A and B are shown apart, each in its own frame.
Chain A
Amino acid sequence: MAGTIEPRQTHVSEKQRVEQPRRTWTSKRALISHAAVLVWCIGCAVACRWQISVAESGDALGWVYSVMWPCFAVFGLVFWWFLLHDDPEALGRRGLRRLQDESQALVDVKQRARSEEIINQAEEEDPELAAYNAYLAELARGDRTKSRGRR
């Protein structure tokens, strides 16, 4: 039996989800990160230019640093991209708890499938056991109807 996991429940309403493409780029948080990444990249460009001038004035070490600063700019861009596209709900303690719930659900499904498989196999090999299990199930059903009747 293939265990299917329910699609992840997000805390976003249908209306918000429709508006989301616009908000990804224009929410307050996004605008601040646009400004921050712009300042960061300009800073890296200035530092790179400065190191190139250092290198040209004779210090060869400047070449090494003039390659390093664009790398920092690239990291800034990666960070900015994830900042825009990460679901804030998935971060922090709440996000960790959701991750835990998801993995627990996956384990539960797999465990249930595995125990069913084991029982089915055992019943196939041993008809007596199958009959006994059916008898137990019958008893359990009887118990349930009896207790319901009593109530």
Chain B
Amino acid sequence: MTGGAETRGSRAGGPAAAAGVAVRGLSGGYGPGRDALRDVSFAAGPGQIVGVLGPNGGGKTTLFRALLGELPISRGDIELPGRPAYVPQTERARLDFPVSAFDVVLMGAYGRTPWLRRIARRDRDAARAALERVGLAGEAGAGFGALSGGQRQRVLIARALLQDAPLLLLDEPLSGVDGVSAERIEALFAELRAEGRTLLVATHDVRQAAAWDQVLCLHRRQIAYGPPAAVLGAETLRETYGAELIVLEGGDRAVGVGHHAH
């Protein structure tokens, strides 16, 4: 199952049958000669969490869009274990949309609900279970816009849970969320890893990524890929973040700083 932007996984099989994600020599972007991302090659198996590091505009979201089949690909190919679920940055979410937390989670089942059919009772139950897993069972009826930033992030993750995808792409799920939410989200990552799902997590926090299985460093091209211990050296981080890197203590305590212009 290869073939660039048109790659689509089948939903059948579930995470148990997943073979992980493999990207080979990927370059892509909008318009010829204007690749936003070049020379990306990595593979992550089932049950692996990959931290995707890089400055703003470094290509983290662009990589996700390529994996979602939404980016014109000029070279290389992508192998997916199935259709990925995508969790956008929470500050991109609409706060004025008249939906409850439960409504938002249920959107995860829209893709598999046949046209003009009601949403299956099984999916409604699954949506309730997903909210429980992110610790928001009591907020099911609350308006999405009335929740805190961390709670909104957890609702969007619950929506991805409902998609039951073998590969999850999370765009800065831990930036700017409260402590309770961050704790719950990280615990959930461990559960998803144990279920054999593959997680790609874009982050600004190098120390977070150091706790995961693999690290992918991007700065408009791939700088490095491998286990944190091998990748997170001072040289790689300097190459990844350039001037955005401000703290360097011996190489094992480095922090990338993101500038959020929101």
Q: Do A and B bind each other?
A: no
Partner-A contacts on B (CB < 8 A): none
Partner-B contacts on A (CB < 8 A): none
